[in-house]
A and B are shown apart, each in its own frame.
Chain A
Amino acid sequence: MDGIPISWFLTLSAILFALGVAGFLFRRNIITVFMSIELMLNAVNLSFITFSYKLQKVDGHLLAFFVMVVAAAEAAVGLAIILTVFKNRSTLNIDDIDTLKN
């Protein structure tokens, strides 16, 4: 079947990933940074599924499951950290968490 060419999926995955990286580097709010991390992970998921479809194997799907589990766990722990940080510092600005600065 002449469906959508894979390169489109992969390009979309790349763009999503790049957006995630940009958000990770340039946004000031911690929660926004975490959302960017989630975006990066999902972009990678997309590229796994694409290759799994291309190669007609289930390996990509399995890996996608793994990535989703890790993303969920990481989100849970990350949000716990953010809550604690907010309780101590009363700010969600990533630049204000700099007590290790010399």
Chain B
Amino acid sequence: MQLWLIPLLPLAGFLINGILGRRLPKSLINAVAIGSVVLSFGWVLKTLFGLDLNTAHTEHYFTWIQSGTLSIGCDFSVDRLTAVMLLVVTGIGSLIHIYSIGYMAHEGGYYRFFAYLNLFMFFMLVLVLGANYLVLFVGWEGVGLCSYLLIGFYFDKKFATNAGNKAFIVNRVGDFGFSLAMFYIFRTFGSLDFATVFGQTAGASEATLTMIGLLLLVGACGKSAQLPLYVWLPDAMAGPTPVSALIHAATMVTAGVYMCARSFPIYTHAPAAMNAIAVVGIATAFFAATIGLAQTDIKKVFAYSTVSQLGYMFVGVGCGAFSAGIYHLMTHAFFKALLFLGSGSVIHALSGEQDMREMGGLRTKIPWTCWTMFCASIAIAGVPLTSGYFSKEAILAAANQHAPWMFWLGTITAGMTAFYVFRAWCMTFLGTYRGHHHPHESPPSMLVPLAILAVLSIAGGLLFKIPTFLATFFPEHEVPEDFTLTLIASSAGIIGILLAFLIYGFKPSIADAFARAVKPLYTFVYNKYYVDELYDNVIVKPVVNGSRVVLWKGFDAGLIDAIVNGTGTRARNLGSVLRLIQSGNIRSYATWVLLGSLGVIAVIVGIASSGGMR
């Protein structure tokens, strides 16, 4: 079925734009970049319609590593889970590529942006198509690299390059866990192939599987920005907005969820690890939502929202409702990408302004953006019948069945989600304009993807019934339909929306008064609970200072340089001593000749007296 074409088309786009892009006209760069992704999307559709998805379809290309008992092939495989991921990645990817034409039109490094974006698509598709853990890891690392490159796209800004470093390094911590998990898997099962490993999970001990599951969770926390490795995602907003939409909302950060869902045979046999996933997920969801309440930068609000919603996906996976988690992955891709692209449209309209306190009243000035973002906002808030409603209900119902306290925490978080999203919407679009720019509507290349995503946000849940689609893939997980739960969760969302409208739509002064009343708490939340400062002082500064003082000044300059320089000095000193023999005085030369000959005679006599030389 030529699965290799799916990732290879974006790779070709990367190579063409990367190598020749500097000299190509913009229209050609667009054609190559967007064409490769749209063609890839088309090929995905063709492949999926031609396949019977009830069995995994694997293609083996070549043996990559062959060493002793370790045999890793470059294999791609497609089953139902892969199908969902492929459609999300290529579909949303195409829309964002089209959006980027308009957004990046006035930016420098145009070809470089599209080259990196295509490279990202390549790695993400490799990640999703991989049929063993190592090929998945290749894609995993590759998307981390592209994330670094794209976050630091404006490389002349220090905070952007710092953010790129932070993203890559924190990811690395997670990758360490993932690597350990892979070693453990290989040691236990003798292979890294999904088919082989998952066929043998029934026979392995629960302790081993729990360990593997927890290590995989560490990896997922790094990539999908869960506690405690979420700190890179808000800083990643330093990158261009299409990057935030594609990588940090719809695709890369979902790789952790995908990996955990893919490893479901391991997790179903290790309930402790699954519980850990759910706990981490719900804690992150709640924690990030509280931070999102107080942010004033529009992209930061959505960044913390992403962390929170990823927490929901992990809750779904951790409670055994794998298809619910993937369902939320898809719907989240729709409305979060729309929220980010919409905010990009707002920022574009205001020529770079990102602070919501400088916005307001844009409803009349950029109506398309306003109302598409409204669609995304009601979807994320879980208003009944939107896509977000279905997926969130599925997750919360599963959470209630697993542990009721998770349901309540999740419902409160849903309320907070609705509140902060509509807070952002009201601050941006209602009231009167507080800034100094001249807002203008975005070009059609930006508005058409917004419109498509708005339709998907509203109707996507009804159109794509993922739980039904994935019912044959994941194990049976019966969750009783409970209308009271649905009612409670929906009301939490509606209350959040109404509260936000009340405060930010009509009387913003209430918010300021409240913030002043709880000043210490507000400052604490506004400064993201000082987690970044904590990490900085506990981890970063000791490492940097240790490196500088001990390793650099102590070892490198003090020891190694001293040895090298010392050898030179010693040679010079020896030379200056030996120099004195050559005095220019003939009689001293004569003396040295005599002494030397006496020495030779002594040696010869010594050898002769001790038995002679053979």
Contacts and interface: CB of A to CB of B under 8 A. Distances in A.
Nearest to A27: B587
Contacts of A7: none
Interface of B is mostly: helix
A98 B585 contact: yes
Interface in B583-603: 583-587, 590-591, 594
A95 B584 contact: no
A99 B579 CA distance: 15
B582 interface: yes
A25 B584 contact: no
Interface in A17-51: 21, 24-25
Which has the most chain A C-beta neighbours within 10 Å: B582, B587, B590, B594?
B587
B587 A21 contact: no
A21 B587 CA distance: 12
Contact of B587 (A95, A99, A102): A95
Contacts of A70: none
A98 B587 CA distance: 10
Interface in A78-100: 94-95, 97-100
Nearest to A96: B586
Contact of A94 (B579, B586, B591, B594): B586
Contacts of A94: 586-587
Given A94-B587, A95-B587, A21 B594 contact: yes
Interface in B560-608: 579, 582-587, 590-591, 594
Interface string B154-197: 00000000000000000000000000000000000000000000
A69 to B, nearest CB: 22
The contact size tier of chain A is 10 to 19
A67 to B, nearest CB: 17
A54 interface: no
Contacts of A101: 583-585
Nearest to A99: B584
A10 B585 CA distance: 33
Contacts of B582: 100
Contacts of A102: 579, 583-584
A55 to B, nearest CB: 18
A21 B594 CA distance: 8
A19 B154 CA distance: 91
Nearest to B591: A25
Interface residues of B, number: 10
Nearest to A97: B586
B585 A25 contact: no
Nearest to B593: A24
Contacts of A98: 584-586
Residue among A25, A97, A99 facing the most chain B CB atoms (10 A cut-off) = A25
A97 B583 CA distance: 11
A21 B583 CA distance: 21
B587 A100 contact: no
B594 A25 contact: yes
A100 B586 CA distance: 10
A44 to B, nearest CB: 13
A24 B594 CA distance: 10
Interface string B40-61: 0000000000000000000000
A75 B26 CA distance: 94
B349 to A, nearest CB: 83
Nearest to B579: A102
Contacts of A95: 585-587
Interface in B187-239: none
A20 B594 CA distance: 12
Contacts of B579: 102
Contacts of A100: 582, 584
B590 to A, nearest CB: 6
B587 A25 contact: yes
Contacts of B594: 21, 25
Contacts of A25: 587, 590-591, 594
Contacts of B585: 95, 98, 101
Contacts of B584: 98-102
B143 to A, nearest CB: 70
B586 to A, nearest CB: 5
Contacts of A99: 584
B593 to A, nearest CB: 9
Contacts of B590: 24-25
A71 B324 CA distance: 111
Contacts of B591: 25
A21 B601 CA distance: 16
A41 to B, nearest CB: 14
A31 to B, nearest CB: 14
Contacts of A24: 590
A87 to B, nearest CB: 18
Nearest to A102: B584
A98 B583 CA distance: 8
Interface of B: 579, 582-587, 590-591, 594
8 contacts: A25-B587, A25-B591, A95-B585, A95-B586, A97-B586, A98-B586, A99-B584, A100-B582
- 8 shortest A-B CB distances, which residue pairs? A101-B584, A100-B584, A98-B584, A94-B586, A25-B590, A98-B585, A24-B590, A101-B583
Given A24-B590, A95-B586, A101-B584, 12 more contacts: A21-B594, A25-B587, A25-B594, A94-B586, A94-B587, A97-B586, A98-B584, A98-B586, A100-B582, A100-B584, A101-B583, A102-B583
